[in-house]
Structure formats: structure tokens, C-alpha cells
Structure 1
Amino acid sequence: MSQGITHVLEEWKCLDEEYQRLQETHKKYLQKLDDISKLQNNCSTSISRQQKKLKEITHLVKQYSKVPSEEDAKNLHEITEKIKTRPNAFFEMEAFLPKKNGLYLSLVLGNVNVTLLSKQSKFAYKDEYEKFKLYTAVTLVLFSFICFFFVNYRVVDALLNFLLVWYYCTLTIRESILITNGSRIKGWWVFHHYISAFLSGVMLTWPDGNLYQTFRNQFLAYCLYQSFVQCLQCYYQSGCLYRLRALGERHNMDLTVEGFQSWMWKGLTFLLPFLFFGHFWQLCNGLTLFRMAQLSDWKEWQVLMCSLCFLVLFMGNFFTTVAVVRQKIKTRNPKPKSL
């Protein structure tokens, strides 16, 4: 047998041995997956059972809360305090368990499991989301600047509006996935992106004409300003969240948002004037479009629809920001008086 053939046989023997080990490893992997699936089902079932039992016990505690015995009242109080801590504990557990997608994700993705089962995967996806917001905001600043100062073509404006539609639609999907994986963003700041995506879609369909050209520069200036503020928010909120997470004061899956939240109070109140100015610009856009809808040459339905969207955005953004600031001022710890 030639030396070359001997070398080939030796290489094949080593490769075949490695393949046998691979098969064994893969069998163990499949077995572990099966075990993990069973543990997940057990945990989900136990959590559901615990939640049901907690409701029953809470009802019983309320029923026997007016007991004459001081010792019984103390025991019931201890149970009540422990019950209050359970929802957060269940929330943390469920963040690492597969769950059914919400209506929106079911419509977009179907029944695909989007739960990330490791902290590293969750953090990596969250950080990629933050980078996506920042990079897209910078792109929108440049695009809006070019359209406002250098280019006046409806096709280019349509590309900008298409980018806005894609951006906000992508945000809604990514945020839904992050919420499934334990992020606490909710309420108005989620709904805000649905309205913004709809508004951008309406702007995309608005045909060129006198009314469009009348509102064009105001809208582009608003987009330029809004994208610039988003860049500021992404940069400063990310730094603030990093410090608060390091101190253990914030949840690791908390996100930056297009608004003001209580955790931004320390060192980030300078953003408030920028935010309020943007809110009132939305009001100005809504009123401008509403006046345009009163003109005799008004034909496009997009004028009134965009006006309504801007007014809804203004009211939601403004009143939510005011409510957060007011709540933060009320709950702020008073400074000790100096003697």
C-alpha cells in the first residue's frame, strides 16, 4: 500500500471516530432538549397554579382581615406583604419560559417561538435594538437634511416616508419580541410607534400638489428635528440606563424610549425642553393641516388624516410626559433640612 493511501486511511479513521463522538454528543443534546422542554412545561404549569392559588389566598386574607386578634392580624399582614412580591418573581421566571405570541406577533410572525432562553441572548438582542434605533435616527437626520435643503422631488420624499414606515414597523416588531423576553416598555410609548407608522404610511400615499408642497418644508423640518432629538435620547438614555443597571436600580431589559420616564430624572432633565418643543411642533403640524382641510381646494383625504394623527401624538406624548414628571416630583425624596 502506497504512503498516500495510508495517509488517507489514517485521516478517514480519525474523521470517522470524530463523527461517532459527534453522534453521541448530538443524542445527548436531543435528550437535554427534551428534558428542558419538560422542565419548561412543569414551570409554566406550576406558575399558573401558584397564580391561581394566590388569588384564592388573597381573597381569604381580605375576608378575614377584620380579625380581633393582634397576632392574627400580624400573620395576615406578613402574608399580604409576601404576596405582593410574587408577581415580580413570576415575571422574572416567565421571561425565560416560552410563551404564546401576542396578537400582533401572531399576525406578523405566526406561532414562531421568539423567547430567548439565556441572559446573553436577551442582552445581545436588546443592545442590537438600541444600536438599530441610533443608526436609523442618524440616517433619518441626514436624509431629512438633504430633502429639506438640497432636493425637492416627490420620489425622494416618498423614499424618506418609506424609510419612516419601515423604521416604525420594525420597531413595533422588535419591541413586541423584547416585551415577550421581559422588557417593561409598555403603555403609550408602544402605541406611539403604531400611530407613527400609520402616519408615515399616510404621508407616503399623499399625492404631489399645492397642499403637499405647502406642508412639505414644515414636515421635513419636523422630521429633521425629531430625528436629532432621538439621537440625543439614544445617546444619553443609554448612558443613564447603563449606570442605573450597574447600581442595580434598573431592570437589565429596560429600553430607551421616545419620551421622558422617571429613571431619566437624574442628570437628564435637560432633555425636557427638547421633548416639549417637539410635542408642541406636533400640535402645530396638526393645526396647520386642519386649517388646510378648510380650504376650498382641499381634495386629498391625507390632509385630515395626518392632522388627526399629529393631534393624537401631541396629546399622548404631552400628557404622558407631564404625568411622569408630576409623579416623579411627588415621589421625590425631600432633602433633609439643614440645622
Structure 2
Amino acid sequence: MSKVIESVCDEWEELQEDYKQLEINNAAYLKKVEELTKLQDICRKHIAHQKYRLNIMQKNLKGISEDKNTKQMKENIMKREVELQYMEQSLPKKSDRYMLKLILGDIDVSFFTKENKFRYKEDYETFKLISHCVAFTFSLILYFYEFRPLEKFFMGFLVWYYCTISIRESILKVNGSRIKGWWRIHHLLSIVSSGLLLVWPYNEPWKLFRKHFINYTIYSAFIQYLQFKYQKGTLYRLKALGEMQNMDITAEGFHSWMWRGLTFLLPFLFIGYIFQLSNAIILFNLSYLPEASWEVTCLSLIFLTFFLGNSYTTLGVIPMKTKKNMLIRYKILRSKVYDAISETVMGSHRDDEVIVKESSKDS
């Protein structure tokens, strides 16, 4: 018995020494976290100041006739904006008002490493694909079999999906995603439209609209699959070239970076937008039926908003294409310069090591 007690006491002493080291490491960790937080705040203030001054300079340059100096200055400002963007993406952002603060509270949901950001972004895209595959399966069953409880369950699934995707997009936004505001509004309206479909009573207008809606969900799932397959290949190619931010994401019919080789997908996207317009017109006509409820008119306005917003936002990106390509070329050049510098430094270190080794051999 005494041997057991001695053994336990020895283990306790050893554990005590290990705990002392843990206390030292934990104190050092807390100090580093405090220093990190202070540095983050300092960087944010400097970035905000840089953006403010750059904005003033851009306004001043607008009224000046362009010559060699002004052209060079505009290029320098553009480069500085890209550099600030790189720095900004490395810093955690505050939760936005919608979803994160409302649902999750004022917590930090930012990722500190690019690997974690990229992993979350991939998980987001996979989640969208799986959800659309589930929606596709439901739609196919409902296309051939009219079963009201399954229809209700499907509408409830859509409400859950769009709520979840909105929260995930808010987290992506905090971590550097440059998704346009319209696509986030699109998902909020999708929550509302799914809720209206869920409470829509089983009447004549629904029977007439049912097939159109199921055809629309089947086509939407097909488009989502095309987007996922296209992105899977292009994402890695662009990332390997340094042309793309990790958190650029797809958003209901459009990628923020998809203008290269987009000629294949664009017709499919606009057919989907025409589907939305068709749904709006059909619902508008159904709203005049005696049995039509208020949900019909609301859904007609929402689908019309989808058509106008999607078309305008997709076409509105075209004028930005030239500027984005210039930024992309600068990013590639910047990446190559950094690689060349690091290779030179590493090469000089290797040369120094060789000289030291040769000297030691001689001695």
C-alpha cells in the first residue's frame, strides 16, 4: 500500500512541475493575445487613415488633366489599394448587424490562417451543392407524385437552407469575402419567399403554380451543379496563379470572378433569370383569381425583384472587368516579385552556409 502511495506522490510531484510550465506558457499566450489585439487595432486605424487620404487624392486628381505624372500617380494609388486589401484580409472584422450579431451575438468568427479560410469556403460551396441535390431529389419526387405533407416539408427545408446560407455568408463576409450586397439581399428575400410558400394554402392558384415552381427548383439545382463543377476546376487554377482571393464565393447564379470562360455558363444563368420573370408573370395573373390569397401577390413581387436584381447585378459587373484585370495583373506581378526576393534571400543564405562549411573544412 505504501508503494502505491509513494508512486502516486511521485506522479503528483511530476505533474506539479508540468503544471508550473503550463502556467508559464499560458501567461505568455495571454500576453501575446493582448499584444496581437493591440496590433490589430493599430493596423485597422492605419488602414482607415490610408484609405481616407487615398480617397481625397483620387478626388483631387479627377479635376486635373491627365499627363504622365497623374497617370503614374493613379497607378500608384491603385497598387496601394490592392496592398491595403491584402492587409485588411489578414485582420478579423466585426460581425455585421444582420444575422451574426442578432443570432450569434457579438463574437469573433474570423479565421487567422488562409488555410482555414479556404477550408471554410470549400465547405460552404459543398454545403450548397448537397442542399441543392436534396432539393433536386424532392422536386423530382413531387413532380411525379402530388403529396401535400412532402410539399410542406420541402418548403420548410428551403426556409432552413436559406437561413443557414445567410449566416454562413455573413461569416464569409467577416473573413474577407467581397460578395455583393445584392446576393445577400437575394438570400434574405429567398427566406421570405420560402416562408410564403410554406404558409400558402392548398387552393386553385397553388395547383396551377405548383408545376412551374417545381420546374424552377429543378433547373436551379442543375445550375448550382454547373457552378460547382466550373468553380472546382477554376478555383484551384486561379489560386495557383495568385489571381484570386480565397473568400471570393459563388452567389445564386453568379461568381464574382467568373468572367474568364463564362461564355458557357452565361446562357444558363440568364435562362434561370427568365424563369424568375416567368414565375412573376404567372403569379401576377393568378392573383386575379377569386381564391388567390395575399401570398400570391407578394411572391409575384419577390420573383420580379429576383429577375431585376440578378440581371442588373450580373450585367453591372462588366464595366468593372477592366479594372479588376489590372488589379489581378498587379497581384500576380507582386506575388512573383515576392517569390523572387525570397528565393534570392534563401539562395544567399545557402551560399553563406556553403562558405562556412568550406571554411571549417579548410581549418
Q: TM-score range by the shorter chain?
A: 0.7 to 0.9
What's the Cα RMSD here? 2.7
Say which is worse superposed, 122-131 or 96-105, in terms of deviation: 96-105
> In 1, distance between residues paired with 2:73 and 2:312?
37
Q: Which amino acid aligns with 1:140?
A: A
- What's 1:3 paired with? 3
1:305 aligns with 2:305: no
Q: Which amino acid aligns with 1:42?
A: I
Q: Which amino acid aligns with 1:52?
A: Y
- What's 2:136 paired with? 141
How many residue pairs get aligned? The number is: 323
Runs of 4+ in 1 over 6 A off after TM superposition: 325-329
- What's 2:237 paired with? 243
> In 1, distance between residues paired with 2:256 and 2:12?
64
| Residues 323/76 of structure 1: CA separation in 2 closer, same or farther (3 Å cut) | closer
| Residues 234/146 of structure 1: CA separation in 2 closer, same or farther (3 Å cut) | same
1:113 aligns with 2:111: no
| Residues 100/157 of structure 1: CA separation in 2 closer, same or farther (3 Å cut) | same
Say which is worse superposed, 50-59 or 307-316, in terms of deviation: 50-59
1:178 aligns with 2:172: yes
Q: How much has 1:122 moved relative to structure 2?
A: 1.4
Alignment check: 8 A CA contact 1:244 1:250 kept: yes
> In 2, distance between residues paired with 1:210 and 1:262?
41
- What's 2:250 paired with? 256
Alignment check: 8 A CA contact 2:248 2:257 kept: no
> In 1, distance between residues paired with 2:274 and 2:62?
47
Q: How does 1:1-339 map to 2 (within 5 A)?
A: 2-58=2-58, 65=64, 74-104=68-98, 105-153=100-148, 155-261=149-255, 263-295=257-289, 297-324=290-317
The runs of 5 or more residues in structure 2 that have no matched partner are 326-363
Q: How much has 1:88 moved relative to structure 2?
A: 2.4
Q: Deviations over 1:2-24 (max 9, x none)?
A: 33223222222222221111111
Q: Which amino acid aligns with 1:258?
A: E
> In 2, distance between residues paired with 1:318 and 1:58?
30
> In 1, distance between residues paired with 2:179 and 2:266?
19
Q: Which amino acid aligns with 2:304?
A: L
| Residues 272/298 of structure 1: CA separation in 2 closer, same or farther (3 Å cut) | same
Alignment check: 8 A CA contact 1:238 1:256 kept: no
Alignment check: 8 A CA contact 1:189 1:259 kept: no
Alignment check: 8 A CA contact 1:96 1:115 kept: no
Alignment check: 8 A CA contact 2:276 2:303 kept: yes
| Residues 225/74 of structure 1: CA separation in 2 closer, same or farther (3 Å cut) | closer
| Residues 42/4 of structure 1: CA separation in 2 closer, same or farther (3 Å cut) | same
Q: Deviations over 1:176-199 (max 9, x none)?
A: 221221112114333221222211
Alignment check: 8 A CA contact 1:164 1:197 kept: yes
> In 2, distance between residues paired with 1:51 and 1:93?
12
Secondary structure at the aligned position of 1:208 is classed as coil
TM-score of the superposition, structure 2-length normalised? 0.80
| Residues 250/66 of structure 1: CA separation in 2 closer, same or farther (3 Å cut) | closer
Q: How much has 1:75 moved relative to structure 2?
A: 4.7
TM-score of the superposition, structure 1-length normalised? 0.85
The runs of 5 or more residues in structure 1 that have no matched partner are 68-72, 333-339
> In 2, distance between residues paired with 1:328 and 1:163?
37
